[in-house]
Amino acid sequence: MGFGKDMKGKSSHEAIVRVQDAELRLLDTVQHFISMRVDNDRKYAAGLEKMLRMTMKSDNSEFKDCCAVFKAWDVILQETDNLVKLLKANADHLQNITLEILTDLISDKKLARKRYLDDRNRLDSDFLKIQDEMVKNRIEYAKCVERLNTDKAKFQDLQSKGKSGPKLDEAKSKFFRSAVRLHKLHNDYIISVNNAQEHQLMLRDTALPAVLDCHQDGQETFVHKMKFVLESYLKNTDTCSAEFQSITKHIGDAINAIRPGEEYSGTFIDLYKSTLPPPADFTFDETLLESYSGSLKANVIEVNDLTVELLHQRYTKLTEEIEETKEKISRVNTDQQKICNEVKKLSARIRDSPSIDNVNNYLQKRSHSENYTREILELEGNLKKLEKLAALIRQPLDKLGSNPVPIALDTHDVGDASAAASSSSGAVKDTVFIKSLTKMNPFKKAMKSSNSQSTLNAEDEADRHSSFSNEDSSTDVEVRKKAQRYEKYV
């Protein structure tokens, strides 16, 4: 049993916080109690010392060697003096050492509680940000699909009416911009959905259990210190009288019942253990594509002239993050191995010499070791998520290989229709539109090398036809050449 396995749910988290608050209240009570005990022991010792001085003014040494009563009384006075000295020494030890340790323990407990809440809030906040990104992409996706359909319908309406000029060019430009934005957002949405899936898996299986187990180990180390405080109190309040022996026996039995390392493994976990709710279902919303008739498919990364450059950039960035994460894991593993060796040495030293310095050093090193373990588990979980996201992008890119990058079907279909419907009177305006579209298209450079040869052949063919045409047909040849140039951009 452990926090990371059995205490993942909300009710368990609340129980962990409550038990820490209760422990802090208990430590404050113990601190106040020991302080009062020190004051009363000192007052008691001062009272005994005053009585002893008054009694010793009476000189009975004349008869102590021959009278057993006087000898016994002298022994009583001597042992009372020893008792006063012992009470003072014990009170000083409680004040100067035990209470100092307890004060440090309270401070460490408060810091551990804050660190635990910060870690939980950090994990919850990171997961919420990823979910918000997915929801944002989904809403934007729906808007883009609606905008694309509207722009496409408007463009086709003007085209079907045979209209030309600025209105048709503007409608065409809006439609192409909508198509480019939708294709980019399509992949972003798929990646954000998968990111949410993988982050949730990492959170549930590695990050959250690592935080919980690290916190439990830290709490168990505090139990070591608390046991040391209680043992110190027991040692410095035992006066060996029958009454005090009875009291200290009860205290000793209670202290001996403490088992560091098993404090939370029994009844506490049985009462408050819980599991996380069922994992959220992060899937692509296929209803977004119900009114869409292009090449985009649900849960399929789209690789075309509009997306290939961004996919390569995204994959490169993920690859760099993967390498950085692996390097960090290697560094942390090395540091953890060093600290583990130190913990083993200190553990053996505590068995031989259980001083407070050795205990403090051991607990500090052990805490560092557990923090390294938690960090490694979080890094490994994040590495697994990054590798899966990289594989998601790499598969369609590997499938494309060295083949020519396909043209987005949405823009290709409209481009063909536009070229067929254009007239010679609009040829010059098409040229202006093509130039503006070239500046807008972010993938011009990626497409240039694969299409340059086909463009050259098309232009040569147009030149051969123009040599056999008269002056009246020269305008038609020019239109065909511009249409061929236009196709390489759409």
What tens digit of pLDDT does each residue of 141-177 get? 999 999 989 988 988 888 888 777 888 888 889 889 9
Rounded CA-CA distance 202/208 in Å is 8
Block residue for tokens 């390097």: 327
3-state DSSP assignment of residue 17: helix
Structural contact between residues 229 and 30, judged by C-beta atoms closer than 8 angstroms? yes
Rounded CA-CA distance 318/100 in Å is 50
Residues 6+ apart with CB under 8 A from 243: none
Residue 381 pLDDT more than 90?
A: yes
Segment 249-265 mean pLDDT: 74
Block residue for tokens 């043992």: 231
Segment 368-377 mean pLDDT: 90
Q: What is the pLDDT of residue 426?
A: 40
**CATH architecture under which domain 3-289 falls:** Up-down Bundle (1.20)
The secondary structure of 287-327 as a DSSP string is GGGTT--SS--TT----STTTHHHHHHHHHHHHHHHHHHHH
Residue 63 pLDDT more than 70?
A: no
Structural domain boundaries in the chain: 3-289, 424-487
When computed from its CA atoms, the radius of gyration of the chain, rounded to whole angstroms, is: 41
Compute the CA torsion angle 300, 306, 307, 309 (nearest 10 deg): 160
- Residue 206, both tokens: 């590695």
3-state DSSP assignment of residue 274: strand
Segment 235-260 mean pLDDT: 75
pLDDT interval class at 449 (50, 70, 90): very low
Residue 75 pLDDT more than 90?
A: no
Rounded CA-CA distance 260/254 in Å is 13
Rounded CA-CA distance 275/348 in Å is 38
The secondary structure of 136-185 as a DSSP string is HHHHHHHHHHHHHHHHHHHHHHHHHTT--SHHHHHHHHHHHHHHHHHHHH
Average pLDDT over the chain, rounded to whole?
80
Percentage of the chain modeled with pLDDT above 90: 40
Instruction: Tell me the residue type at 445.
Output: K
Residue 287 pLDDT more than 90?
A: no
pLDDT interval class at 298 (50, 70, 90): confident
Q: Within a 10 A sphere around the Cβ of 391, how many other Cβ atoms? A: 13
Interhelix angle for 356-400 vs 208-235, to 10°? Answer: 180
Block residue for tokens 């038990």: 19
Interhelix angle for 99-160 vs 10-56, to 10°? Answer: 160
Angle at 109 between CA 107 and CA 111, to 5 degrees: 70
pLDDT interval class at 412 (50, 70, 90): low
Structural contact between residues 99 and 113, judged by C-beta atoms closer than 8 angstroms? no
Q: Within a 10 A sphere around the Cβ of 438, how many other Cβ atoms? A: 12
Residue 387 pLDDT more than 50?
A: yes
Which pLDDT tens digit goes with each residue over 94-139? 999 999 999 999 999 999 999 999 999 999 999 999 999 999 999 9
Compute the CA torsion angle 429, 434, 435, 437 (nearest 10 deg): 130
Structural contact between residues 419 and 161, judged by C-beta atoms closer than 8 angstroms? no
- Residue 180, both tokens: 């480019």
pLDDT interval class at 65 (50, 70, 90): low
Nearest to 486 by CA among 424, 421, 437: 437
Residues 6+ apart with CB under 8 A from 36: none
Instruction: Tell me the residue type at 322.
Output: I
pTM attached to this predicted model: 0.64
Segment 306-320 mean pLDDT: 93
Rounded CA-CA distance 67/47 in Å is 29
Q: Within a 10 A sphere around the Cβ of 383, how many other Cβ atoms? A: 19
Q: What is the pLDDT of residue 64?
A: 59
3-state DSSP assignment of residue 7: strand
- Residue 356, both tokens: 């407070």
Work out the widest C-alpha separation in the chain, in whole angstroms: 156
